[in-house]
C-alpha cells in the first residue's frame, strides 16, 4: 500500500484499502528537578544553571530537609539536587526518606564536604550522585544528566567518575 503525507503532516491512504502507517515520534519529557539548599543565593544559582539547560525544568525549591521530603512526595521530581548541611533535617536523612517515599526519583548531593567518607554516607542514604560545590560549575550538568539516566556519578576535588548502577 502506498501512503502520502497530507498538508498538515497527517497520513492519508493512496489506495482504496484503509491501512494507515502512523508516524513514530519520540516524545521527550523534560527532566523535572527539585533544588534543595538552605542558602537562597545557592538555590538561585542552581536554579539558573539547571533551568537554562534544554530539556530540564526546575519545578520547585526547598530550604531544608523537611520541606524537601514534602515537596518530593507531592511533586514526584525525576531528580532532587540536595545539600547535606541544612536546618530541621539534614540532606542525608532527607535522602533516606525521599528514597523510601519516591523510589523512582534519583538524588544528587551537591555539598561543600569533599570527603570519600561523606560520599559513602550519601550513597548509603540513597543518593545516586555526589558533587562538591567548589566544582559544581565543572560537574553539575554532567552529574544531573548521569543520575537522570540512573547512572552513579561521584566527583570530589578531582576528576569525576561514572559507573552504571
Instruction: Quick: pLDDT tens for 62-114.
Output: 999 999 999 999 999 999 999 999 999 999 999 999 999 999 999 999 999 89
Residue 74: CA count within 13 A, CB half-sphere = 11
Model confidence pLDDT, tens digit, residues 18-43 = 455 555 555 668 999 999 999 999 99
CATH superfamily for 31-164 is Response regulator (3.40.50.2300)
- The ranges assigned to domains in the chain are 31-164
| Rounded CA separation 114/116 (Å) | 7
pTM given for the model: 0.79
Q: In this predicted structure, what is the pLDDT of residue 121?
A: 96
Model confidence pLDDT, tens digit, residues 47-72 = 999 988 889 999 999 999 999 999 99
Cα distances (angstroms) measured from residue 1 to each of 9, 25, 94:
18, 21, 58
Amino acid at each position: 500500500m502506498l501512503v502520502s503525507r497530507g498538508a498538515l503532516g497527517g497520513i492519508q491512504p493512496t489506495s482504496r484499502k484503509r491501512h494507515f502507517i502512523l508516524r513514530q515520534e519520540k516524545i521527550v519529557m523534560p527532566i523535572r528537578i527539585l533544588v534543595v539548599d538552605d542558602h537562597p543565593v545557592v538555590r538561585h544559582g542552581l536554579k539558573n544553571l539547571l533551568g537554562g539547560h534544554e530539556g530540564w525544568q526546575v519545578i520547585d525549591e526547598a530550604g531544608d530537609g523537611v520541606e524537601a521530603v514534602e515537596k518530593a512526595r507531592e511533586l514526584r521530581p525525576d531528580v532532587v539536587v540536595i545539600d547535606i548541611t541544612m536546618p530541621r533535617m539534614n540532606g542525608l536523612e532527607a535522602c533516606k526518606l525521599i528514597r523510601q517515599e519516591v523510589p523512582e526519583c534519583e538524588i544528587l548531593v551537591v555539598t561543600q564536604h569533599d570527603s570519600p567518607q561523606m560520599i559513602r554516607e550519601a550513597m548509603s542514604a540513597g543518593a545516586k550522585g555526589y558533587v562538591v560545590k567548589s566544582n559544581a560549575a565543572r560537574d553539575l550538568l554532567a552529574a544531573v544528566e548521569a543520575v537522570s539516566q540512573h547512572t552513579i556519578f561521584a566527583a570530589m576535588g578531582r576528576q569525576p567518575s561514572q559507573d552504571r548502577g
